[in-house]
Amino acid sequence: ERLNNIDTLSKSELLIQAMNQFHLAFKIADRPVSDMGWYVIKDKLDLELKRYQKVYGYNDLLLMTVKGDIVYTATKPDKLGQNLLNGALKDSPLAKGFKKALKRITVQDFEPYAPRNNQHVAFMTAPIFSSGELIGVLAFCLSPDSINAIVQRREGMGKTEESYLVGAWNEQISYRSNRLIKGKEQCVMGYETRGDDIDKALAGKSGIAIKVNDNRDLELASYAPLQIQGLNWGIITTISLEESITPKLMGEQAQEDFFSRYINHYGYHDLYLIHPDGKIFYTVKHEADYATNILTGKYAESTLGNLSRKVSQSKTFGISDYAPYAPSYNDPYLFVAQPVLSQQGEIELIVALQLSDDILEQVMLKRAGMGKSGETYLVGNDMLMRSNSFLDLDNHSIKASFANPSIGVVDTQSSRAALAGETGEQIINNYLGHSVLSAYTPLKIGNTKWALIAEMNENEAFAALIKLEWLLGIVALLVGFTAAVLIHRFTQHLLTPLLQVNEHLKCLAQGKVVKAGDIICRGKDEIADLKRLAQSKKLVGADDITYQGKDEIAEIIGSFHQLRNSVKSTIEQANAIAAGDYTREVKLLSQQDQLGIALCEMTRTLYSQSQNLQKQQAELRRINEKLEQRVIQRTHQLAQANQKVTALNERLKAENLRMGAELEITRQLQQMVLPKEPELKQIKGLDIAGFMEPADEVGGDYYDVLQHNGCVKIGIGDVTGHGLASGVLMLMVQMAVRTLLTNGMTQPETFLTILNRVIYDNVQRMNSDKNLTLSLLDYQDGVLRLCGQHEEVIVVRQGGDIERIDTFNLGFMVGVEPDIADFVAQKEITLQPGDGVVLYTDGITEARNIDKRQYGVERLCEIVGCHWHQSALEIQLAVIADVRQHIGQQRVYDDITLLVLKQKKASYTVRP
């Protein structure tokens, strides 16, 4: 922006004429800077150039001839007449910038400058041409304050976060802005500094790195070069690694970070974030190990130190055993650790959790099924407790066991066997000397081996077995008696069922169908099972049955042989059909062989269906081939369409990125031109608070408060729509208002008429239908002059009384017609101490709640009246809070703008 400023000014007709006149004055007079002609030229320039210098915040503005003579300065007349090529300033940064400017616009880096008491200043220089001939050089002088004002902005930055500039000059790297967080006295403009991130930024590289600062604290540093013609600068942003990596919670837990809430929720004692070099840069509890090096420091041989070393080497998850930990009052704790790896497999940081005995206690002390004397517990390799005892908490808890090992030791047969890798159960004397039934098994977690033991008092464990022995004796007597009765009954019913089975099998062998009711099955024994088996034909092969007699049993076996041959023939026929052979002949066993007759009919039917199926399969193959061809063609068409859609998406993506960048730039410009709090505080006689929130990235609302020659110009407007075009038009209005005010235009009707013409011409050039409502207020000595058409103006008197002024007849929509002079009128409002006005856009009054009900002017007046005894800022905050409560979770569809002006205690006499 500043390069554009000097380029524009160097080409202005005013400056070119002045340089030609200075050049002529040098030819005529020996000391032109004291000549009357020089003063005439200077007076013409002073008004414009000094105002330009003040508006843009330059320390000085200078003009030099092509021979190096200083012919004009806005602030330091003692430099006039000095020559930059052979005078006292020949080695100054101004002389260096002058020489470079003879060829092009350039920026001379910050250096100590003698006329400014050797303070660091920089110069922007540009050549001045007249009809293609170089006639002089224009220079802007910049102080560090102008750079600091930009770099030291704190919006959106963390507590330890800051940005600063560095640059290389005369083989030395030093600061180009002052630091706020670190070294306020030493880390200032010109102070030498070094660092790997600084070297990379000045080498044209960008990146993010973790580094150790001068206080040996870990920082996250972002670095990038600055592309400024003629300068080798870089920008560095640093933040404490602890702050950058620990997310803060919002709302009621604002004082609690995510990790604090995490360990409280899951019952961990502490959480550690460890740099790969070993520095503990974050813990929740901030005990004695915080900010120490766990790999090389005083706690390097602790449980956490050994685990961190192991995890650093293996780059995998690790777990330690319980052991006393000095930073936590030497109580025993267990640690788990997990490295966080980069895409290249390098450790970025190590996350470690510290566990007390509370978590294990919740599991080990569950009492379900344990009776009165039962318990489960863990024992470590050192025979000390790894969980808290249920029976002897005073001596056999984890803490007590480590504190007094001689009493807390658990050296029993079960603990020794489990630690040796065995699993089993036995009756032993436990650690209290009681006889118990003990079950044990080894438990391995990582490289740590524990013994898991479950025990119960012997008498309590075997009480149930004694009761069971008595119960079994009684059951045995009852079973014997019942068995004798059943044997007698089954013997009487054996012969008749066997004869029925024999007759049934004979019929089956001849192919006859026998009804299931022909065999009566009343029993539930083996004979009944045989009868049912005969009914269902589920018989074993006859070869499996051998019998040498000639009684009923022999007849049954003969029937089995006949049935087997019949079933075998039927199975062979079924296998042929399954193989697709429908020509095999079926042999009937007899005229009554219903199964054979049905099998013949089924064979003929299947043969006919098989022929039809072959024809249908041939037709399906033909259809499938056509379908495949169609699919291939359609796939090719879809691939071509997909390529077109992909290309279109890429173009749309690029266009969206471009439009997003344009919107962001316009939004930043829009926010930059809004009046800032320090400006508003400088306005005498008025307490002012303003608020604007766009519905989209760029708003269409406008408000401004400007002060010039004792008069305050206040404007509020609403451009149709919102978005980029509306935001640009808002910027045009702000620039036009400031320009007219700066040029001394004060008459309200004329002011608004000229402003309308400027906006109308720009809208026509944009080929747009955008326009806006706009009201302008001029305040001076307790009197407001209002003109322009916008929303109603709310006038509030000291006691809270409300007056509403309709602005419809005070103007016309700006940008619709080229000339609105006939529509413009003004209204004068006298303000007494405590009186004021409230200006707003329809984004407030037309804001809708979930029931589609508008906020309304009446509610706005009510809230303003209730809070009018407070300051302008408190009134503004109360209104905005009430509007947000009205809207609730609904989407905001319009920009919201509010301006509150309140008359302070008068230091003048108000005009009647």
Q: Is the pLDDT of residue 307 over 80?
A: yes
- Residue-wise pLDDT for 464-473, tens only, equals 566 655 666 5
Rounded Cα distance between 43 and 765, Å, is 38
Region 7-35: what's the mean pLDDT?
A: 73
Of 206-210, 504-508, 806-810, 896-900, the range with the lowest mean pLDDT is 504-508
Whether the Cβ atoms of residue 534 and residue 519 lie closer than 8 Å to each other: yes
Q: Any idea which architecture 246-355 has in CATH?
A: 2-Layer Sandwich (3.30)
Give the residue extent of every domain in the chain. 2-142, 146-243, 246-355, 376-461, 495-575, 603-665, 674-903
Rounded Cα distance between 535 and 515, Å, is 8
Q: Is the pLDDT of residue 516 over 80?
A: no
pLDDT value of position 529 = 52
For residue 811, what are its two tokens? 């103007």
Listed residue (467, 464, 468) closest to 369, CA to CA: 464
Question: For residue 567, how many other CB atoms are within 10 A of its CB?
Answer: 16
- Max mean pLDDT range (3-7, 77-81, 542-546, 823-827): 823-827
Whether the Cβ atoms of residue 413 and residue 337 lie closer than 8 Å to each other: no
Average pLDDT, the chain: 79
- pLDDT range class, residue 303, cuts 50, 70, 90: very high
Long-range contacts: 492-498, Cβ < 8 Å, 24+?
493/523, 493/527, 494/527, 495/552, 497/521, 497/523, 497/527, 497/528, 497/530, 497/531, 498/527, 498/530, 498/552, 498/553, 498/556
What pTM, to 2 d.p., does this model score?
0.41
Angle 567-572-574 from CA coordinates, rounded to 5°: 95
pLDDT value of position 911 = 40
pLDDT value of position 862 = 93
Q: Is the pLDDT of residue 31 over 70?
A: no
Q: Is the pLDDT of residue 496 over 60?
A: no
pLDDT value of position 774 = 92
Q: Is the pLDDT of residue 480 over 60?
A: no
Region 111-134: what's the mean pLDDT?
A: 87
Candidates 3.40.50.300, 3.40.50.620, 1.10.8.80, 3.60.40.10; correct CATH number of 674-903?
A: 3.60.40.10
- Residue-wise pLDDT for 210-229, tens only, equals 777 766 677 778 889 988 77
Rounded Cα distance between 705 and 728, Å, is 19
Q: Name which CATH class applies to 146-243.
A: alpha beta
The residue ranking higher by pLDDT, 327 or 505, is 327
pLDDT value of position 667 = 62
Strands 60-65 and 133-142: antiparallel
Q: Positive or negative CA dihedral for 746, 749, 754, 758? A: positive
pLDDT value of position 835 = 94
Question: For residue 296, how many other CB atoms are within 10 A of its CB?
Answer: 12
Q: Is the pLDDT of residue 292 over 70?
A: yes
Listed residue (371, 338, 332) closest to 353, CA to CA: 338
Region 281-292: what's the mean pLDDT?
A: 89
Long-range contacts: 887-892, Cβ < 8 Å, 24+?
887/847, 887/848, 887/849, 887/855, 888/849, 888/850, 889/850, 890/848, 890/849, 890/850, 892/693, 892/695, 892/843, 892/847
Q: Is the pLDDT of residue 202 over 50?
A: yes
pLDDT value of position 144 = 87
Q: Residue 266: CB partners within 8 Å, gap ≥ 6?
A: none
Rounded Cα distance between 734 and 745, Å, is 15
- Bridge-partner residues for 167, per DSSP? 174, 233
CA atoms within 13 A on the CB side of 211: 17
Q: Residue 507: CB partners within 8 Å, gap ≥ 6?
A: 514
Rounded Cα distance between 442 and 226, Å, is 64
pLDDT value of position 793 = 95
- Residue-wise pLDDT for 374-402, tens only, equals 888 899 989 999 888 888 888 888 899 99
Of 117-131, 348-362, 650-664, the range with the lowest mean pLDDT is 650-664
Listed residue (123, 127, 91) closest to 108, CA to CA: 123
246-355 matches 674-903 in fold: no
Chain-centroid distance, C-alpha 250: 13
Q: Positive or negative CA dihedral for 855, 859, 860, 863? A: negative
Which phi and psi angles does 487 have, rounded to 5°? -65, -45
Which phi and psi angles does 426 have, rounded to 5°? -165, 165
- Max mean pLDDT range (575-584, 695-704, 901-910): 695-704
Instruction: Say which DSSP state 891 is in.
Output: P
Q: Name which CATH class applies to 2-142.
A: alpha beta
Region 801-806: what's the mean pLDDT?
A: 92
